[in-house]
Amino acid sequence: MHYFDYKNGELYAENVNLKQIAAQVGTPFYCYSAATFRRHIKMFQQSFADRDALICYAMKANSNQAILTLIAKLGAGVDVVSGGEMLRAVKAGFAPDKIVYSGVAKTHAEIEYGLKIGIHCFNAESEPELERINQIAAKMGVIAPVSVRVNPDVDAGGHEKIMTGKAENKFGIPWKKIDGVYELIAGLKNLQVVGIDLHIGSQITDLKPFAEAFERVGSLVKGLRKAGHKIAHVDFGGGLGVPYKNDNDIPPHPDEYAAMINKVAGDLGVKYIFEPGRMIAANAGILVGKVEYVKHGDGRDFLISDVGMNDLIRPTLYDAYHDILPLIEPQDGFETQLVDVVGPVCETGDYTAKGRDLPVFEAGDLFAIMSAGAYGAVQAGTYNTRALIPEILVDDDKFAVVRKRVEVEDIIGLDSVPDWI
């Protein structure tokens, strides 16, 4: 569910008319709904209210400081995958003991910082990483809390670039090697096992792959305990899908997800940790753009907009689908046109939608790309020396610019020319 709806024939974010924002800040821009973020966090928390559970928002989905501060104030934790994200978490007010640090390439400096502030745990992804954490912890005179990320070799379906739980993926340690890895940890004096971790992919709309992976990890937990290892928590990762299309293809509700987990892992006596990102952020944000030209080609028509692949790369990178709505509500019996929605970037891959049946647009019309709150602004760039677009946060009838537009002059100013040229 989200809070972007038509009112009196115009599209609103909560109680703010999106045309009002466009008039003030220009297009394109990202717009987020605070009410939607709050609802999604609280819904996930409520689904596990009867369990000892920590909901750690996966910051990589959307790391704007305003969004992070909002989520921290709801009592959630956070999942980070870089030193930069760890610093963002601290500055946004997350308690260090609610930070879990994932990722395959943790540097010395990042590990030192995590140990210094006292994060909840490192989700380790290889034996060399465990040895590095142990060495750094020994130098600092501390004990590092670690959890091992298991690669369960489960096919979660979906796009190959967002699958993380297959044997050929770079993430985690093969499940058949886990016993030996925990024995390795037992021999490293400055590591303390606190749990076990997994993550099998993103935008998963079927509970079966989750159940298969969680059952496999449940068996590992029981075996590890028999071998004398303390497993206090299971980090089930994230990956629960969201509805990108306005149709009947609705992913499982968090309550269904919770019921499945309780069925396959409820007897383990562990703390639950989750890392939802897309499920929290995707439908809480949109991207508003403007039609620059309507071009009638040979066999197909194009809506040429000011939204480029540098602003939203998901359609090009992941073949992702996003609904597109005009800011002025179409009237009953409105005409449609079959179009490709493309942008200004000098690449054939610069498109938002292909072969889409949309209401008839004219140059100057505004539109909203829906479900753009996750993996949108965080992946945006300045290719073709295009301004980095702003982010707006709406809360009821208020809105604020929570990241200003980075203008072309600012981008050019980052470069320097050596004296010897």
Q: Can you give the length of the chain in residues?
A: 421
Catalytic one among 31, 56, 121, 346? Answer: 346
Task: List the structure tokens of 193.
Answer: 């096992």
Instruction: Please confirm, yes or no, whether 121 is among the known catalytic residues.
Output: no
- How many other C-beta atoms are found inside a 10 Å radius of the C-beta of residue 276? 25
Spatial separation of the C-alpha atoms in residues 140 and 120, rounded to whole Å: 17
Spatial separation of the C-alpha atoms in residues 85 and 120, rounded to whole Å: 15
| 164-173: long-range contacts, CB 8 A cutoff, minimum separation 24 | 164/199, 164/200, 164/201, 164/202, 165/198, 165/199, 165/200, 165/201, 165/209, 165/213, 170/104, 171/104, 171/125, 171/199, 172/125, 172/197, 172/198, 172/199, 173/125, 173/126, 173/127, 173/148, 173/149
Spatial separation of the C-alpha atoms in residues 363 and 292, rounded to whole Å: 5
Phi, psi of 282, rounded to the nearest 5 degrees: -55, -60
Phi, psi of 297, rounded to the nearest 5 degrees: -95, -170
**122: β partners:** 101, 146
The catalytic residue positions are 346
